[in-house]
Amino acid sequence: MNSISFVLNRTWRRITLITHVISAGAWIGIDVMVAVLVGVGWFGTDTEIRGLAYRALATFVVWPMLTSGLICLATGLVLGLGTKWGLLRYWWVAVKLGLNLLLCTLIVAVLQPGMDAVGGYGRDLAGGTANATDVSSLFFPPAVSLTTLTIATVLAVVKPWGRTRSLTRAR
């Protein structure tokens, strides 16, 4: 990893860090919105509004979420490679890298493929003919993502566990 490291000057480090923190914040905000829409879909009393909530989930969530996740990943990579932190030099960065990759993979491999069914469920619900789609599993996307992003934020601020000695020595 060191072979492609470079030094970010002060201005670029600040610009990249600001973009990194904004993208992480946007990602968390989108997750909160997902939790609200899932809550309205489950517990709402008006079927038309519940149907709209599911359709909004299916239409507006995946791409903004993936975009903010990828911007967070890209700026994180630049910050890691362009500063003393490295990518695998400190546990807090290495773990955040793993968590970011895991979440982006889950968005593409698990969340996105189920969205058509959720949208169809919303349309049917609003039309008064709810189909058999299991929407109870919609608990997991916001719960898993919000928990993971909270852990990543705590790691970023606390920077625990020091250097990855074994990984560093192996290189």
Q: Please report, as ranges, the residues that interact with ligand HEM according to CB under 6 A.
A: 13, 17, 20-21, 24, 72-73, 76-77, 79-80, 83, 85, 87, 93, 96-97, 99-100, 149, 152-153, 156-157
User: Could you tell me if 157 and 93 are in contact, meaning their C-beta atoms sit under 8 angstroms apart?
Assistant: no
Nearer to ligand HEM, 21 or 35 (CB): 21
Query: Rounded to whole angstroms, how far apart are CA atoms 5 and 39?
Result: 44
Residue type, 148: T
Q: Which residue is nearest to ligand HEM (CB)?
A: 76
Please state, in angstroms and rounded to a whole number, the distance separating the CA atoms of residues 148 and 150: 5
Closest distance of CB 20 from ligand HEM, Å: 6
> What's the closest the beta carbon of residue 107 comes to ligand HEM, in angstroms?
12
Work out how close the CB of 159 gets to ligand HEM at its nearest, in angstroms, rounded to a whole number. Answer: 8
- The structure tokens 């996740």 sit at 69
Nearer to ligand HEM (CB atom), residue 60 or residue 85: 85
Min dist CB 93 to ligand HEM, Å, is: 5
Distance CA 84, CA 92 (A): 13
Measured CA to CA, the distance from residue 57 to residue 38 in angstroms comes to 8
